[in-house]
Structures are given as structure tokens and as C-alpha cells.
Chain A
Amino acid sequence: MSSPRYWREIPQRYRLEAGKCTDCGNIHFPPRLVCSACSGRQFETVKLSDEGTVFTYTIIRVAPSQFVDQAPYAVGIVELDDGVRISAQIADVDLDALEIGQRVRIEFRLIQNEGEAGIICYGYKCVPA
């Protein structure tokens, strides 16, 4: 991952900054320049809810190379309390006990490590609430 790319995604990965359409109120994460609901172009920056429920999930057993040392690990689509859905890892959870509807909250975590001379990448993971 290039440094400029990592740097420009920091507002979302570290601070959960989303764009709320000032016309229709839809919240977009990541922020967009055009609202996909109403075509509005004016947004205010809001922070995502940091709690939500597991909408669906899976356990990744065959992982990409940067994640091999974490496998098996749970990932899911989480519906946050503001209605926004995100994809994230679900950490610190018993893989056999995970279920749809489970309450989770967002924590700031190490996400992937690119290895020698690569970037150490941080961001959000979900953990049991």
C-alpha cells in the first residue's frame, strides 16, 4: 500500500468520519461527492456510531498473505446504530459462538502488517459490546 493512499484514508480508518447528506440526511461511509440516494452534493462530516449489531459474518480460514498469521478470524457486516453498515473484522470473540444479531462496538486496532519495509496498517475492528 502506498503511503499517500494510507494517509488519505486516515480520517475514515482512525476517526470513522462519514459524510451526511444535507439534503436527505443519508450517511455515507466512506464519504462521497454525490449522494447515491438523492444526488445531493452538500455534506457535513459526522462520526459513525461506534456500536451496532452483527448483520452477517463468516470465519476466514484461507486468508490473504498479510492476514495469514491472524487466521482463522471472523469478519462481518455490522449494522451500526446510525443505520450505516460497514465490513470489519470481529475480534476477541469465540468463533463458534458468534451469531447474527450479536451486539458489538468498534475499537481501534492493528489491521494488517505489510512486513519488511511495509506499512503497519491500523483501523477499526468490532469486538463484543
Chain B
Amino acid sequence: MLGGYTIGYLYYAITLYIISGLLIIYIDASDLGKDKKKKKEWKISRFIGWFNIAAGVLMWVCDVILN
């Protein structure tokens, strides 16, 4: 068991995946999209942003189905 009070880390992880994905898309991708020299970075930032959101949503759906 982990130290301190705990409710398990799954919901913390889901929240972190979704929020980090949103931050990447709304901060990094939109910022990099303005610079034409950083097109590769822009594409990757959009991909990893959506990847994190998808991972978070998938974990949440799996949790709902399994419980």
C-alpha cells in the first residue's frame, strides 16, 4: 500500500493524460503552427497531444467497462 491516504492512481493518471494532451495541443501545437520552419515539430506535437488524449479516454472507457 502507498503511504498517506490514497484512492489508487488510475484516475490521477487518466486526468494527467487528458490534461497534458490538451496542453500540448492548445499551447505547443498552436505556438509551433505559427512558425513555418517548425512544421515537423508542429505535426509531432499534434500527434503526441492527441495520443495522450486518446490514451486517457481509452483508460477511462476500459475502467468504466471493467467496473
**Genuine A/B complex:** no
A residues sitting closer than 8 Å to B (CB atoms) are none
